[in-house]
Amino acid sequence: MKPVLHERLLPDGADNGMQARYAHTRDVLRKALVGKAHGEIAVVSSFGAESAALLHLVAEADPATPVIFIDTRMLFEETLAYKDQLIRHLGLSNVRTVSPNGAAISDTDPFGRLHLTDTNACCGFRKTHVLREALDGFDGWITGRKRFQAATRHGVGTYEQAADGKLKINPLAFWSKQDIDAHFDAFDLPQHPLVEHGYPSIGCAACTSPVAAGEDARAGRWRGSEKTECGIHFENGKLVRTGGAGAGEQA
Instruction: Specify the 3-state DSSP secondary structure of 51.
Output: helix
Beta strand 67-70 pairing with 41-44: parallel
Please confirm, yes or no, whether 230 is among the known catalytic residues. yes
The CA–CA distances, whole Å, from 81 to 64, 78, 212, 230 equal 21, 5, 25, 22
* DSSP conformational letter for 97: E
Helix/strand/coil (H, E, C) string of 137-176? CCCEEECCCCHHHCHHHCCCCCEEECCCCCEEECCCCCCC
User: Which entry of 122, 123, 204, 230 is annotated as an active-site residue?
Assistant: 230
Strand locations in the chain (E): 41-44, 67-70, 95-98, 140-142, 159-161, 167-169, 234-235, 238-239
CA distance 218 to 234: 16
> Catalytic residues, which ones?
230
